[in-house]
Amino acid sequence: MMQIDTEGLLSGCEYIPSPNCDDRPSSEIKLLVIHNISLPPDEFGGNGVQQLFTNTLDANEHPYYAIIANFKVSAHFYVRRDGRIIQFVSCLKRAWHAGESCWQGSIRCNDYSLGIELEGTDTVPFTDAQYAALQTLTQVLRAAYSIGGIAGHSDIAPQRKTDPGSCFDWTRYLTSLS
């Protein structure tokens, strides 16, 4: 059974430490933020996301990588198309996933949220394996922390972001948590 240990790490998943994190200003974790990402854009199965989150992306490997290779970003978790979960940042640390953001009047969502990236795009449906993994991950995180809300990146940064996109089935996801 998956659980979060005292180091803020999820048991039973691969952990690839990202340098793109820092200390939280407070220990309260009250929000999950759902994202999507694919690198190269609209392609699945490669190592681009892991390389981006660990600052090892080769700017010459793909034209898009030249634009983003120097970005310093991360998320706590990444859910592959096959449902495999990779953790990049301890839940006890602040990952750099939300950017300029606001949720229920509180700015700087990175300070109090956990970021979950789904391998995908706004325009391609997510897989059954991803929904199953996301459901389990959400339940484990809710058991470990006082999470009061779940939002999409587009909900907390609507002028800048569109993810997880119209193909993310919020009803399916939220119903699975009941």
Catalytic positions: 117
CA-to-CA distance for 53 and 58, rounded, in angstroms? 12
**Is the CB of residue 116 less than 8 Å from the CB of residue 77?**
yes
Local structure of residue 47 (DSSP, 8 states): S
Amino acid sitting at position 40: P
The DSSP line for 87-122 is: E-S-TTEEES-S-S-EETTEE-GGGTEEEEEEE--T
Which spans in the chain are helix H?
48-53, 63-68, 128-144, 153-156, 170-176
